[in-house]
């Protein structure tokens, strides 16, 4: 019996997947468990087509490797079809309102995934659409990646509750979703960033409110050694995310002491896992020895984008 037949699954049908804050802790964990189930079915060669005859429209205003391939392959494996829609090719790029685009696409498609810059674009798209909308990434949040990340941790550690994740680097969209995911899953997260690069204050406050419900803790600091102390998981991301490339040199100076390297990871637990959402700049935010070392699970993360997103699509579409 698939998890898609459980009572909880009914509550997810037709929902948007925009931010993890919109989902209850048991719903987040359900999606992770469903992702693992779908992964096992795929590995066993079992054909499972819950989205037979359905089509996902994929809007890309930001380029991608993992997002494009994983969503397209995921829809195929679920029995559906994925349609690539470049932001430059849509009428939205010539001034059509987001609401009009959403309403038109809702007449053709069964779901929309969008990877874009402004978070408000996804919000407006979801408000105008009558079909589920999935946030493939915005400047504010990256919930699909966070869900895949915590699936990966569960597979390697056998549990999530009580584990500590240390994030070293820019307080960007990635850490926002990791913080909310940790809060929903009963994990502890410690974030070290240079001054001026902290996570969004509103996101911190919102995350702390949800953390109180599950016993999670959220810690923001300056010192990477403080953040990484006794960590089960060490996480890094590029210093200049897409859209911030013009600040590369400035950020290299600001983050000079925030590289995850062999000296820093000595402060983590001896069986720590290293994670990175990719693409990575070896020699900048992380040393080659760490990212290519025995503790690194970066390609397991990348693979699980496929399975976590299949779980999202199967559940809400």
Q: Are 59 and 218 in contact (CB under 8 A)?
A: no
Is 143 one of the annotated binding-site residues?
A: yes
Is 120 one of the annotated binding-site residues?
A: no
Is 214 one of the annotated binding-site residues?
A: no
E strands present in 147-228: 164-168, 188-192, 217-221
Q: Are 57 and 103 in contact (CB under 8 A)?
A: no
Is 237 one of the annotated binding-site residues?
A: yes
Measure CA of the first residue to CA of the last residue in the chain; give whole Å: 19
Whether 94 is a known active-site residue: answer: no
Out of 29, 210, 276, 277, the active site residue is 277
Is 15 one of the annotated binding-site residues?
A: no
Sign of CA dihedral 247, 21, 68, 297: positive
Out of 119, 232, 237, 259, the active site residue is 237
E strands present in 140-208: 164-168, 188-192
Is 207 one of the annotated binding-site residues?
A: no
Out of 142, 210, 276, 307, the active site residue is 142
Is 173 one of the annotated binding-site residues?
A: yes
Whether 210 is a known active-site residue: answer: no
Is 68 one of the annotated binding-site residues?
A: no
Whether 309 is a known active-site residue: answer: no
Out of 77, 145, 151, 259, the active site residue is 145
Is 142 one of the annotated binding-site residues?
A: yes
Is 200 one of the annotated binding-site residues?
A: no
d(CA 74, CA 55): 12
Please choose, from the candidates 36, 18, 27, 16, the residue with its C-alpha nearest in 3D space to the C-alpha of residue 306: 36
85 beta partners: 59
Q: Are 113 and 136 in contact (CB under 8 A)?
A: yes
Q: Print burial letters for 78-112: b (CB count within 10 Å at least 16), e (below 16).
A: bebbbeebebeebebeeeeebeebbeebbeebbbb
Task: Classify burial at 279, counting beta carbons within 10 Å of its beta carbon; exposed 0-12, middle 13-18, buried 19 or more.
Answer: exposed
Out of 176, 276, 305, 307, the active site residue is 305
Whether 221 is a known active-site residue: answer: no
Q: Which residue has the tokens 């995934």?
A: 113
d(CA 211, CA 205): 10
Is 20 one of the annotated binding-site residues?
A: no
Sign of CA dihedral 210, 67, 312, 303: negative
The distance from CA 99 to its chain's CA centroid, rounded to whole angstroms, is 25
Is 221 one of the annotated binding-site residues?
A: no
Q: Which residues are annotated as a binding site?
A: 64-67, 91, 115, 142-145, 173, 237, 241-242, 277-278, 305
Q: Which residues are annotated as a binding site for carbamoyl phosphate?
A: 64-67, 91, 115, 142-145, 277-278, 305
Q: Which residues are annotated as a binding site for L-ornithine?
A: 173, 237, 241-242
Which residues are the active-site residues? 115, 142, 145, 237, 277, 305
């Amino acid at each position: 019996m698939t998890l898609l037949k459980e009572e909880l699954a009914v509550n997810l049908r037709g929902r948007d997947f925009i931010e993890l804050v919109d989902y209850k802790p048991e719903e987040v964990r359900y999606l992770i468990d469903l992702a693992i189930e779908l992964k096992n079915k795929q590995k066993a060669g079992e054909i499972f087509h819950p989205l037979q005859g359905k089509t996902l429209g994929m809007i890309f205003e930001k380029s991608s490797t993992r997002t494009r391939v994983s969503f397209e392959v995921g829809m195929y494996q679920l029995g559906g079809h994925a349609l690539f829609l470049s932001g430059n090719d849509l009428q939205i790029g010539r001034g059509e309102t987001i609401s009009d685009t959403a309403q038109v696409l809702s007449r053709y498609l069964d779901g929309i995934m969008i990877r874009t810059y402004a978070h408000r674009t996804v919000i407006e798209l979801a408000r105008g659409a009558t079909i589920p909308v999935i946030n493939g990434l915005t400047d504010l949040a990256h919930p699909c990646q966070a869900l895949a990340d915590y699936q990966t941790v569960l597979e390697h550690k056998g549990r999530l509750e009580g584990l500590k994740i240390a994030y070293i680097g820019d307080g960007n969209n990635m850490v926002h979703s990791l913080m909310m995911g940790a809060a929903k899953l009963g994990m502890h997260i410690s974030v070290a960033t240079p001054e001026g690069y902290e996570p969004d204050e509103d996101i911190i406050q919102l995350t702390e409110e949800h953390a109180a419900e599950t016993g999670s803790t959220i810690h923001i600091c300056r010192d990477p050694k403080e953040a990484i102390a006794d960590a089960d998981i060490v996480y890094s991301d590029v210093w200049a995310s897409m859209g911030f490339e013009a600040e590369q040199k400035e950020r290299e100076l600001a983050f000079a002491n925030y590289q995850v390297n062999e000296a820093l990871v000595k402060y983590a637990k001896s069986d720590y896992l290293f994670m990175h959402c990719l693409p990575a700049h070896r020699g900048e935010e992380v040393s080659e020895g760490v990212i290519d070392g025995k503790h690194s699970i970066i390609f397991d993360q990348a693979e699980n984008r496929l399975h976590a997103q299949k779980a999202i699509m199967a559940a809400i579409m």
